[in-house]
Structure 1
Amino acid sequence: MPAADDLGMTTAPKHDLPTAPCDDAAVADVTTLLPSRDALLERLGERLTVTVRTSATLVIIGLLRRDEGWPTAQSTLAAVTGLLARSLRGDDYLAKSGPGEFAVLMSGPADAAEPAATRLSAAISDLGIEGLTAAAGIAQLAPELSAEEVLRRGLVSLTAARRAGAGTVIRYREPY
């Protein structure tokens, strides 16, 4: 087969791009440009070390869709990302924790995070994207917990909230 230049086509020059060391935890979700799950775990680990002095809560907002299509459209994810980014306080940390899940690390106790989670879930429904709603799970950070355990608790709560339906917010509580 003749080379592209032989066919009258121009080819882009080959450049060796410099490669910077890549910190996998900081790699953003390519669709939303939000920090990844690994970056979230790293931030949770950092925050857990100071929870003796100041409280923090993890809120995981999960999208619910009636269309059952997979994956969620990039335009939908972009709209939700923009909404969440505009709705949070300056010291809140927003990340992507799963394909249809957004994590928000908020300063303050879970009692204060519940109304915020309810408001954010309702705002997603109000975006006007047909069939799109949300639910949320909440987990309080505590110094004796690992980052993975806090995330697990948030996801367990989110799973229960999704089962209950749109607009539901469930806070993790230890079983008695």
Structure 2
Amino acid sequence: MTIAPNTPPLAAPTAPEAAVADVTTLLPSREAVLDRLAERLAGPAPAPTTVVVLGLLRRDDGWPTAQSTLAAVTSLLAGSLRGDDWLGKSGPGEFVVLLNGPVAGAETAAARLVAAVPALGIPDVTAAAGIAPATADAAADELLRRALLSLSAARRVGAGTVLRYREPQ
């Protein structure tokens, strides 16, 4: 019989600490992404911003994605961004990039990032992306929702796809 030492359990992180980082990648969490996006949208004349959500596609559909895969993709994305871009996590296999500048530049950057994932050489791992440009009528959570919706559609199309959110006509 083994008797465990009488030590108090480690305290769970408080709400503000929990929102700071994804445990696996140490990237800012979804809540931190929303806070950062809201900051970018605040003000009388916010800079043009585009939300890019890059989602991993895996042939095996196993769960969860290996930590080594997430670490490799995190390193790739972090090394591929400009100084004013911002990287965070949205979900288990989803990375959020906040890009400043025109949406055409964001589409080019998203295509470049999506194409770089298979080049990592991780078997059966590819990516797709959804993007949503900031608009005057959309709050941070709505922009992230639009980018995630575009990502869902891009995943259905397949690896290497980048789709931009567009309002129905």
Instruction: Normalising by structure 1, report the TM-score.
Output: 0.87
Runs of 4+ with deviation above 4 angstroms: 1-4, 13-22
CA distance in 2 between counterparts of 1:83 and 1:30 reads 18
Q: CA deviation at 1:50?
A: 3.9
- Is structure 2 residue 141 aligned with structure 1 residue 163? no
- Is structure 2 residue 136 aligned with structure 1 residue 143? yes
- Report the equivalent of 1:33: 26
Secondary structure of the structure 1 residue equivalent to 2:129 = strand
Q: Judge conservation of contact 1:61–1:137 (CA < 8 Å) in 2.
A: yes
Query: Residue 132 of structure 1 is aligned with which of 125, 137, 140?
Result: 125
**Residues 1-150 of structure 1: matches in 2 within 5 Å?**
22-24=15-17, 26-50=19-43, 52-150=45-143
Q: CA deviation at 1:142?
A: 2.0
AA matched with 1:61: L
Mean Cα deviation higher: 49-58 or 34-43? 49-58
Q: List per-residue Cα deviations over 1:68-120 (Å, max 9, x = no partner).
A: 11100000000000000000011111000011100000101211100100000
Q: Judge conservation of contact 1:27–1:36 (CA < 8 Å) in 2.
A: yes
AA matched with 1:77: L
CA distance in 2 between counterparts of 1:153 and 1:67 reads 27
Q: List per-residue Cα deviations over 1:142-164 (Å, max 9, x = no partner).
A: 23211110011000100111111
CA distance in 2 between counterparts of 1:73 and 1:20 reads 24
Could you tell me the percent identity over the aligned residues? Answer: 62
- Aligned positions, number: 169
Against the structure 1 CA distance between its residues 173 and 2, is the aligned structure 2 distance closer, same or farther, given a 3 Å change threshold?
closer
AA matched with 1:147: A
AA matched with 1:111: A
Q: Tell which structure's C-alpha radius of gyration is larger.
A: 1
Structure 1: any 5+ residue segments left out of the alignment?
5-10
AA matched with 1:112: G
AA matched with 2:34: L
AA matched with 1:55: P
Against the structure 1 CA distance between its residues 50 and 171, is the aligned structure 2 distance closer, same or farther, given a 3 Å change threshold?
farther
